[in-house]
C-alpha cells in the first residue's frame, strides 16, 4: 500500500523530494529557463547539480502516454545548455520513447519506478 504522501503529491513534488535528499536542486514553480548556445530558451522542471555535472529534468504528469517527441526535446535542451544528461519522469511512456531514451542516454522513469526508489511501499 502506498503512503498518503505519494497518493496526494504531484509527480513534480515527488521528484523534487527524491532528489533533494541527494543533490542540490534548482527548482521554480514556473520552471527553470536557460538560454542555450543556439540562443534558444529551454525550460526545465528541475536542474540537479551532481558531482558528474548538471542534469536537466522534465516532469510530465500527464494522463496519457509520453512519446518520443518529449525525449527529443529533452535531449536537444540538454545538449544545447551543456548539461551532463537528462532525466524524464512521467506516468506512462510509449515503447518507442523508452527505446529512444536508451539510445540517447536519457533516463526514462515512471511514477511507479520513482515510488519504488523512494522506498514508500509498506
Half-sphere CA count of 65, side-chain side, radius 13 A = 8
For position 57, which CATH number holds?
Answer: 3.40.1350.10
Cell triple for 15: 521528484
Domain that holds residue 100: 4-118
Cell triple for 77: 535542451
Q: pLDDT grade, residue 3 (50/70/90)?
A: low
The pLDDT value given to residue 7: 53
The structure's pTM equals 0.88
Local structure of 101: helix, strand or coil: helix
Structure confidence by residue, pLDDT tens digits, 41-99? 999 999 999 999 999 999 999 999 999 999 999 999 999 999 999 999 999 999 999 99
- Count of domains forming the chain: 1
The pLDDT value given to residue 121: 46
Spell out the SS3 assignment of 13-59: HHHHHHHHCCCCEEEEEEEEEEECCCCCEEEEEEEEEECCEEEEEEE
Structure confidence by residue, pLDDT tens digits, 21-37? 888 888 888 889 999 99
- In this structure, which long-range contacts are made by residues 19-22, counting pairs with CB atoms below 8 Å and at least 24 apart in sequence? 19/46, 19/48, 19/57
> In 3-62, which residue ranges form alpha helices assigned H by DSSP?
4-8, 11-20
Amino acid at each position: 500500500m502506498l503512503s498518503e504522501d505519494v497518493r496526494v503529491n504531484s509527480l513534480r513534488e515527488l521528484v523534487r523530494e527524491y532528489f533533494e535528499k541527494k543533490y542540490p536542486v534548482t527548482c521554480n514553480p514556473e520552471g527553470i529557463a536557460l538560454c542555450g548556445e543556439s540562443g534558444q530558451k529551454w525550460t526545465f522542471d528541475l536542474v540537479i547539480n551532481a558531482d558528474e555535472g548538471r542534469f536537466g529534468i522534465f516532469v510530465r504528469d500527464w494522463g496519457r502516454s509520453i512519446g518520443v517527441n518529449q525525449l527529443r526535446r529533452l535531449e536537444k535542451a540538454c545538449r544545447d545548455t551543456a548539461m551532463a544528461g537528462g532525466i524524464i519522469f512521467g506516468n506512462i511512456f510509449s515503447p518507442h520513447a523508452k527505446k529512444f531514451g536508451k539510445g540517447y542516454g536519457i533516463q526514462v522513469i515512471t511514477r511507479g519506478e520513482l515510488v519504488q526508489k523512494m522506498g514508500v511501499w509498506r
